[in-house]
Amino acid sequence: MRPSDPIHSGQTDVPAARPPWAGIVVYVLCLLAMVAVSWMLWDSLPDVVVTREATAERAGVQVPRFVIVAAVPVTLLIVGAVMTSTLMAGGRLRRRVDPALVVRPQSQTKAMNVVFVVLPLFLLALHSGLLLRAAGHEVPLDRAMAVGIGLLLIALGNVLPKIGPSRVPEGSSERVVLAWQRAQRPGGLAMMLLGVACVVAAFFLPPLVVAVSAVMLVAAVYVLMGVLTGQRLR
């Protein structure tokens, strides 16, 4: 049996997922890079950073430079803590949950590696862009974020077909699980194409509109997968 094949009910227990070491290494390196960028740009930042210009309809917003410097790294630390806690809780609950509802260990490790690699890189780019802009440099931050979201969708679309349950239940629910797994391949391809379109469109259309539209269209990918699953069950 290949590692990516689902295990049917009645087979031996599935081992726990291995830690996503590649993602952990990238996570730590990105966190250190954020510290380095903050240190290099600290003296270039004003004591008070304007995050929203005042207009006739609304007041401006100013925050100390420490808030701007710490915001994204703290966010990354919180994300890491939440994901680590989720992994630990999932490992303890694995034996108490129906195997049909538990992601395969190999799939879980791959998915966590993708998240731990892509998300820290995205936040590192966001952190660097925010500080550079606050220091007075012209940075196309909106476009960079739209491109980053597109790359994130490409990575998630690549791993989507590889996610499946540890075991396929026998009986009537087996057809549903297998049909959904088969729908994940075209769904992953659609998400990757959405990511490519987001990256390309960011250079020709308003980046913020492109990024928001791409995120909202992720729901359409899952609707497509649901439709394909229903067709296979007929």
Q: Are 40 and 130 in contact (CB under 8 A)?
A: no
CA distance 157 to 81: 24
- What pLDDT does 99 receive? 54
Per-position DSSP letters for 88-131, written without gaps between them: HHHHHHGGGS-GGGSB-HHHHHHHHHHHHHHHHHHHHHHHHHHH
Q: What is the mean pLDDT of residues 159-167?
A: 68
Q: Are 218 and 153 in contact (CB under 8 A)?
A: yes
Inform me whether the pLDDT recorded for 231 exceeds 90. Answer: no
Output the pTM of the full model.
0.72
Among 76-90, 120-134, 149-163, 209-223, the range scoring the smallest mean pLDDT is 76-90
Residue 10, beta-bridge partner list: none
Q: Which helix (H) or strand (E) holds 38?
A: helix 21-41
Q: Name the band, by pLDDT with cuts 50, 70 and 90, for residue 139.
A: confident
Write out the two tokens for 38. 């903050």
Among 3-7, 24-28, 191-195, the range scoring the smallest mean pLDDT is 3-7
Q: How are beta strands 48-52 and 167-168 bridged, if at all?
A: unpaired
Q: Per residue in 173-225, pLDDT tens? A: 667 777 777 888 898 899 999 999 999 999 999 998 999 999 899 899 989 98
Write out the two tokens for 6. 């689902």
Q: Per residue in 68-85, pLDDT tens? A: 999 999 999 998 888 777
Q: Mean pLDDT score of the chain, rounded to an integer?
A: 80
> How many residues would you count in the chain?
234
Per-position DSSP letters for 52-100, written without gaps between them: E---SSS--EEEEHHHHHHHHHHHHHHHHHHHHHHHHHHHHHGGGS-GG
Inform me whether the pLDDT recorded for 117 exceeds 70. Answer: yes
Inform me whether the pLDDT recorded for 36 exceeds 80. Answer: yes
